[in-house]
Amino acid sequence: MLPYAGCVVCGLDAVTPFCSSICVDYKEMWWSGQGAHLFWLDADLLERTYCFRGEQEWKDTFRLVYFDPSSQMYRLSGIAHLADLCFKAPIDRNQACIGFTEDVSGFVKYDLEKIDWWSDCSHGLRKPVDWREFAFVVHASCWSLTLRFVDSDVENHLHTFLAISLLKRMAELPTKKRDFLSSWKNKQRGQDPFRIPDVGELIEECKQRRADLAARPALRRSSRLRPRIPLLKVPCEILCLILDRLDYQSVRQFCQAIYCPPMDSYWRSRAAPHLLELDEIRHEDLDWRHLCLELEELRTTTDTFDTRERILKILRENKDAYLRNLKKAHPLTAKDVINQIQFGRVLKYPDEFN
């Protein structure tokens, strides 16, 4: 049985994957030493790609938050997608490692019992140990969302981040949310909340649509491409107000009946709430109207965005508590929450969650 533990942000399992599945998916790996089959790359590069973003793969791609005795502070590891019977990740936070290795040099390593202790219902019966011996798993995607929606400087406040996130997770364990999560896992649902593969494919499709049109300038100017349909002679501002009142289906019908100019800036703005990649593709030449309407259809008719919306709801709640806790003279720390859990004390939401 593969080891798994709950992500301290979202609560969904993080699992060390099968080495065989990694090797099948990542053909360009090479042997990098005795008993090793590794592929190293920059963590930022991996976070910008759609690799390992399948319904299970993204949960197997994680970072560790651990206490560093040398600095007497919590540290963030690099990204790991490693087949192993324990949890380990690169010490260098800017590195990502994929594959399998028995060598632990350059890695921080924790056995399962030091990772999953907080989500085990028997935690109150265990003999307490030094709180600094525990580490925490956070999905790489959940960490990326935390940086974007909670605090870009959160890495300098890991004590507070852990305290608030862990308290939130513990407060939900005994509730009906556990049944929800079990059902979620049993159904093998949940797309990557940060880089959704369907969205990535859609972006490429819209680039190709615009490229195909640009490659046919004569046809683009001809009436064969644009039938003689009425032109609504109103200012763009008024047209935008009309479009704002229409859903994706009505917009398509509207644009079939009345000629609608490209208005890329409008469609870019309308797509923004569903498009975390916007800053990266803002200046791309693509079919923005098609992208916007397809995103709205995905959100309305599928569960593509369900994981993201659930995690963003958690992060919004955590952000309020996190920021208020930072302003306190004596803020809640990870040590406080860890020891409360170890000694089986009743955990309550802080005032900030109410």
Report the pLDDT value the prediction gives residue 176, as an integer from 0 to 100. 46
- Whether residue 123 lies inside any domain: the answer is yes
State whether 136 and 235 are in the same domain.
no
State whether 166 and 261 are in the same domain.
no
Structure-block tokens of residue 90: 């690169």
If you search the block for the tokens 């819209």, which residue do you land on? 206
Report the pLDDT value the prediction gives residue 240, as an integer from 0 to 100. 93
- Whether residue 9 lies inside any domain: the answer is no
State whether 31 and 91 are in the same domain.
yes
Report the pLDDT value the prediction gives residue 216, as an integer from 0 to 100. 74
- Whether residue 172 lies inside any domain: the answer is yes
**Residue 208 identity (one-letter amino acid):** Q
The total number of structural domains in the chain stands at 2
Report the pLDDT value the prediction gives residue 128, as an integer from 0 to 100. 74
- pTM value is 0.85
**Residue 59 identity (one-letter amino acid):** K
Report the pLDDT value the prediction gives residue 16, as an integer from 0 to 100. 65
- Whether residue 8 lies inside any domain: the answer is no
State whether 161 and 145 are in the same domain.
yes
State whether 293 and 256 are in the same domain.
yes
Report the pLDDT value the prediction gives residue 342, as an integer from 0 to 100. 81
Q: What is the DSSP letter of 127?
A: P
Residues with Cβ within 8 Å of residue 19, at least 6 apart in sequence: 37, 83, 99, 100
Report the pLDDT value the prediction gives residue 290, as an integer from 0 to 100. 96
Low-confidence ranges of the chain (pLDDT < 70): 1-4, 16-36, 119-126, 173-189, 217-229, 344-354
If you search the block for the tokens 């972006």, which residue do you land on? 203
Report the pLDDT value the prediction gives residue 345, as an integer from 0 to 100. 61
Decide: helix, strand or coil at residue 122. coil
Torsion 231-235-240-245 (CA) sign: negative
State whether 38 and 179 are in the same domain.
yes
- Whether residue 337 lies inside any domain: the answer is yes
State whether 126 and 46 are in the same domain.
yes
Q: What is the DSSP letter of 117?
A: G
State whether 74 and 138 are in the same domain.
yes
State whether 47 and 35 are in the same domain.
yes
State whether 249 and 273 are in the same domain.
yes
Report the pLDDT value the prediction gives residue 117, as an integer from 0 to 100. 79
- Domain that residue 110 falls in: 24-194+307-352
Structure-block tokens of residue 214: 């640009």
The residues with which 259 forms a beta bridge, in sequence order, are: 231
Rounded Cα distance between 288 and 264, Å, is 6
State whether 161 and 245 are in the same domain.
no
State whether 210 and 186 are in the same domain.
no
- Whether residue 1 lies inside any domain: the answer is no
Report the pLDDT value the prediction gives residue 315, as an integer from 0 to 100. 96
- Whether residue 12 lies inside any domain: the answer is no
Rounded Cα distance between 94 and 39, Å, is 14
- Could you tell me which of 159, 169, 78 has the C-alpha nearest to residue 330? 159
- Whether residue 57 lies inside any domain: the answer is yes
